[in-house]
Chain A
Amino acid sequence: MTSIRLLSAASTIAVLSIAAAAPAMAQTKFEFWYGLSGDLSERVQEMCKGFNESQADYEIVCVSQENYDNTLQNTIAAYRANKQPTVTQIFDAGTLDLMLSGAYMPIRELMSSNGYEIDWNNYLSGIASYFSTSTGEMLSLPFNNSTAVIYYNTDALAKVGFEGTPKTWEEVETVARAMKDAGYECPIAFDPSGAWQWFEQFSAIHNQPIATKGNGFGGLDAEMVVSQGKFVDQLTWIKKMYDEGIIVHKSKDAGETANDAFVNGKCQITSSSIADHGTFGKQAAEGVHWTNAMLPMWSDTERTNSLVGGASLWTLKGKSEEEYKGAAAFFNYLAQPEQAQTWSTITGYVPVTMAGFEAMKANGFYNEAPYKGRELAVESLTFTPPTENSRGIRLGNYASIRQEMVKTMQDVLFNNAPVLETLQAFDAKGNEILRRFEQTYKGAQLP
């Protein structure tokens, strides 16, 4: 009798202790590295906290690596040492290397094998195409995405008697000239390091190829064709405006960035990411009124969709089943409409799904300041279905090619280098980089 009682007592304790230990044992920790800092980093931390509080099975540890470059470099170093985080945030220019490396777990596979149903067609077409294979399968989860827009100082527009916002480069030129005549010292702020908005986005919305094979989507043997397209005229125009003092060079090196010059009211027009919409709202000096519009077109051209910028979340190989379950749960948490909306509201990044965008529109989110104007980014991203040239850029070592473009624009502006020859040299240099990349991944097929 006593022995039975003892036994049952013992087993009860055992069961109890197992029950007590269970949550602690089941809680799987996994890491997420991201490349945002300052205000945006705090927003990410809040999101991580929200995820950890929403469930008891997983604990996400979110580590800021300060910027995209560091995140990429540190993730690579960690991966090579087999100490990689489960989830990492990789920016647009680092996408191709990761795709070819095979170091990732495709998001579709991850979600379906863990039992989550995601409507992949719901993602904004321009965004989905950037992070998909050539056959349209999404490999990573779009996270913080943006596109470029143009910002105008409305007081300066009013002063020169322009109603609304300029829609074409011709109008921009007229307005900027009028501003110059009206005594504004800096009508248009220009930073050559903004090759993303001034060159890549220009090419996309004017449906101009940067490289053959659909900007590299069709294979690693793509070749640069910038010197054969409309950008030659565009750079010639930029140079002309620069020489006339209508476009003014603003950069970190010059002591004031284009964005700073704009929010301080010194420059009247600038082009930047939609993610700066929120920042401008907060930083605009007193008495500076501004608005934004889709990037201008030349009047004899048809607009196509603009390119997505920003970064996406990748799941890396070599982690445990449990960690993947956690990552999938985290992605599912991010995809909840309310989460998506909060994220887009507090940061200025665009909502990445059509449903998220429609919901925000229906709520009247975009009707009033400070959020009015942000819908233009989505409009710009989805203006047409992505074409060969506006689907994205899939070129090897693209960070280097982008840097060559920065040098090219600087050379034309500052050293009076001839436009066509300099762009031809840019293409040649770009081809060298591409061939080297192709050789590094000899025999590899684009996914």
Chain B
Amino acid sequence: MERRAFYRNPVLPWLLIGPQLLLVLVFFYWPTSQALYWAFTLEQPWGGGNSWVWLDNFIAIFRDREYWATVARSAFYAICTTGLSMAVALFLACFVDRSLKGTKLFQSVYVWPYAIAAPAAGVAFRFIFAPQSGIIGSINQIWPGIWDPSTNGVHALAMVIICHAWLGIGYNFIFFLAALQMIPRSITEAGAMDGARPVRRMFDLQLPLIAPTVFFLLIMNLISSFTDSFGLIDTMTEGGPVGSTEVMVYKIYFDGFKGLDYSGAAAQSIVLMFLVIALTFVQFKWVEKRVHYN
């Protein structure tokens, strides 16, 4: 039989978890329940009253073609930022792991972007990518009109995706590097003795061995790109041009706070919440059951 530690005092455990519970209640459950309630009512912004409308808000957003465009855009955004950010981070981590010259320096340098707040990065990137005055914009002087995120939706979306991926590289890098360094040297050395080149060793040895980390990062990145894109988009494009960078979280913000449609925004955030819950659920299921740490 399994041995378990337990408290004799029935009050003490509650006291110990009390502060944490309180925080979660105040900052998560209470606002969520409020949003859930609003999602089923039509709420007047000044609080003058509301009426219960059952699923009308959800039906309204699901019927809206623009909403589905936003969902598809968010999915595309999530896949691109995640793929880009993880690929670059893995690439860098592999090199740092090989103990080339200057490794110690790069170990810390690559993490820096993670320390920059999204809005601050957004402002900086807006200047860098500005078509009429930025550094990247200067290619317009060689080929006029080749880069213009202010009028071209594809450019704008690419710009935001690149910035988001860039911000995430540091975080991914740290995890990848730690995972790579956990692999016993003898395994890679054995591979090398058998004549496998570094690229082959990476695909056949290192990647399978760090699969749990890859999977963990994949989920974390996907969740982050659904929820953390707001700071960047708000400072860089405000969802434009023609709504081409309007992702789910930005639409929630706009409809709720600018448009004062509290109920529509609440319904949208409930949908987003379930999406993130689903992702988290998948992660737990997999990480717990399928992927083995050593």
Q: How far is the CA of A94 from the CA of B259 in the complex (A)?
A: 9
Q: Mark B238-279, 1 if CB is under 8 A from A, else 0.
A: 101111000000000011011111011000000000000000
B47 at the interface (CB under 8 A from A): yes
| CB-contact partner of B137 in A94, A251, A255, A441, under 8 A | A255
Q: Mark B50-87, 1 if CB is under 8 A from A, else 0.
A: 01010000001000000000000000000000000000
Q: Do B132 and A256 have beta carbons less than 8 Å apart? A: yes
The segment from B21-29, B91-99, B148-156, B186-194 that touches chain A is B148-156
B42 at the interface (CB under 8 A from A): yes
- Tell me how far the C-beta of A444 lies from the nearest C-beta in chain B, rounded to whole angstroms: 8
Residues in B neighbouring A113, C-beta threshold 8 A: none
Q: Mark A56-74, 1 if CB is under 8 A from B, else 0.
A: 0000000000000100110
- Tell me how far the C-beta of A410 lies from the nearest C-beta in chain B, rounded to whole angstroms: 5
Q: Which of A255, A411, A442 has the most CB of B within 10 A?
A: A255
Q: Mark B115-145, 1 if CB is under 8 A from A, else 0.
A: 0000000000011001111100100000000
Q: Which of A72, A439, A440 has the most CB of B within 10 A?
A: A440
Q: Do A407 and B45 have beta carbons less than 8 Å apart? A: no
Q: Do A97 and B45 have beta carbons less than 8 Å apart? A: yes
Using known A-B contacts A439-B42, A440-B263, determine if residue A256 contacts B133 with beta carbons closer than 8 Å.
yes
Residues in A neighbouring B259, C-beta threshold 8 A: 397, 399-400, 403, 433
Using known A-B contacts A249-B150, A397-B260, A414-B152, determine if residue A403 contacts B45 with beta carbons closer than 8 Å.
no
Using known A-B contacts A400-B255, A439-B42, determine if residue A253 contacts B237 with beta carbons closer than 8 Å.
yes
Residues in A neighbouring B261, C-beta threshold 8 A: 397, 400, 433, 436, 440
Q: Do A97 and B260 have beta carbons less than 8 Å apart? A: yes
Q: How far is the CA of A190 from the CA of B255 in the complex (A)?
A: 26
Q: How far is the CA of A102 from the CA of B258 in the complex (A)?
A: 20
Q: Do A440 and B46 have beta carbons less than 8 Å apart? A: no
Residues in B neighbouring A98, C-beta threshold 8 A: 46
Residues in B neighbouring A255, C-beta threshold 8 A: 127, 130-134, 137, 150
Q: How many residues of chain B get a CB closer than 8 Å to chain A's CBs?
A: 41
Q: How far is the CA of A255 from the CA of B43 in the complex (A)?
A: 39
Q: Mark A358-398, 1 if CB is under 8 A from B, else 0.
A: 00000000000000000000000000000000000000010
Q: Do A254 and B130 have beta carbons less than 8 Å apart? A: yes
| CB-contact partner of B264 in A407, A410, A436, under 8 A | A436
| CB-contact partner of A254 in B53, B60, B131, B242, under 8 A | B131
B44 at the interface (CB under 8 A from A): yes
Residues in A neighbouring B241, C-beta threshold 8 A: 192, 253, 410, 414
B48 at the interface (CB under 8 A from A): yes
What secondary structure prevails in chain B residues at the interface with A? loop
- Tell me how far the C-beta of A316 lies from the nearest C-beta in chain B, rounded to whole angstroms: 10
- Tell me how far the C-beta of B124 lies from the nearest C-beta in chain A, rounded to whole angstroms: 13
- Tell me how far the C-beta of A228 lies from the nearest C-beta in chain B, rounded to whole angstroms: 23
Residues in B neighbouring A182, C-beta threshold 8 A: none
- Tell me how far the C-beta of B127 lies from the nearest C-beta in chain A, rounded to whole angstroms: 8
A406 at the interface (CB under 8 A from B): yes
Q: Do B263 and A414 have beta carbons less than 8 Å apart? A: no
Q: Do A76 and B242 have beta carbons less than 8 Å apart? A: no
Q: Do A440 and B137 have beta carbons less than 8 Å apart? A: no
A415 at the interface (CB under 8 A from B): yes
Q: Mark A247-281, 1 if CB is under 8 A from B, else 0.
A: 00101011110000000000000000000000000
Residues in B neighbouring A254, C-beta threshold 8 A: 130-132, 148, 150-151
| CB-contact partner of A410 in B47, B149, B240, B258, under 8 A | B240
A195 at the interface (CB under 8 A from B): no
Q: How far is the CA of A254 from the CA of B150 in the complex (A)?
A: 5
Residues in B neighbouring A76, C-beta threshold 8 A: 45-47, 260
- Tell me how far the C-beta of B76 lies from the nearest C-beta in chain A, rounded to whole angstroms: 18
Q: Mark A193-229, 1 if CB is under 8 A from B, else 0.
A: 0000000000000000000000000000000000000
Within 8 A of B (CB), among A48-91: 69, 72-73, 76, 79-80
Residues in B neighbouring A256, C-beta threshold 8 A: 130, 132-133
Q: How far is the CA of A442 from the CA of B52 in the complex (A)?
A: 12
A101 at the interface (CB under 8 A from B): yes
A100 at the interface (CB under 8 A from B): yes
- Tell me how far the C-beta of A91 lies from the nearest C-beta in chain B, rounded to whole angstroms: 12
Using known A-B contacts A253-B150, A403-B254, determine if residue A101 contacts B46 with beta carbons closer than 8 Å.
yes
- Tell me how far the C-beta of B1 lies from the nearest C-beta in chain A, rounded to whole angstroms: 53
Q: Do B48 and A103 have beta carbons less than 8 Å apart? A: yes
Q: Do A406 and B240 have beta carbons less than 8 Å apart? A: yes
Q: Mark A114-140, 1 if CB is under 8 A from B, else 0.
A: 000000000000000000000000000
| CB-contact partner of B126 in A253, A410, A439, under 8 A | A253
Q: Do B243 and A407 have beta carbons less than 8 Å apart? A: yes
Using known A-B contacts A249-B150, A253-B149, A407-B242, determine if residue A399 contacts B48 with beta carbons closer than 8 Å.
no
Q: How far is the CA of A413 from the CA of B150 in the complex (A)?
A: 12
Residues in A neighbouring B238, C-beta threshold 8 A: 253
Smallest Cβ-Cβ distance to A94: which chain B residue: B260
Q: How far is the CA of A54 from the CA of B134 in the complex (A)?
A: 50
Q: Do A103 and B46 have beta carbons less than 8 Å apart? A: yes
- Tell me how far the C-beta of A33 lies from the nearest C-beta in chain B, rounded to whole angstroms: 15
- Tell me how far the C-beta of A99 lies from the nearest C-beta in chain B, rounded to whole angstroms: 10
Q: Closest 5 A-B residue pairs measured CB to CB?
A: A255-B130, A101-B46, A400-B259, A253-B150, A254-B150
- 14 sampled A-B residue pairs with Cβ under 8 A: A76-B45, A100-B48, A101-B47, A101-B48, A254-B150, A399-B259, A400-B258, A410-B151, A411-B242, A414-B151, A414-B153, A436-B60, A440-B261, A442-B51
Interface residues of A (CB under 8 A from B): 69, 72-73, 76, 79-80, 94, 97-98, 100-103, 192, 249, 251, 253-256, 397, 399-400, 403, 406-407, 410-411, 413-415, 433, 436, 439-442
| Given A73-B257, A413-B151: 19 more A-B contacts, CB < 8 Å | A76-B47, A97-B45, A101-B45, A101-B47, A253-B237, A253-B238, A253-B240, A254-B150, A255-B132, A255-B137, A403-B254, A406-B240, A407-B240, A407-B242, A410-B242, A414-B151, A436-B261, A440-B261, A440-B263
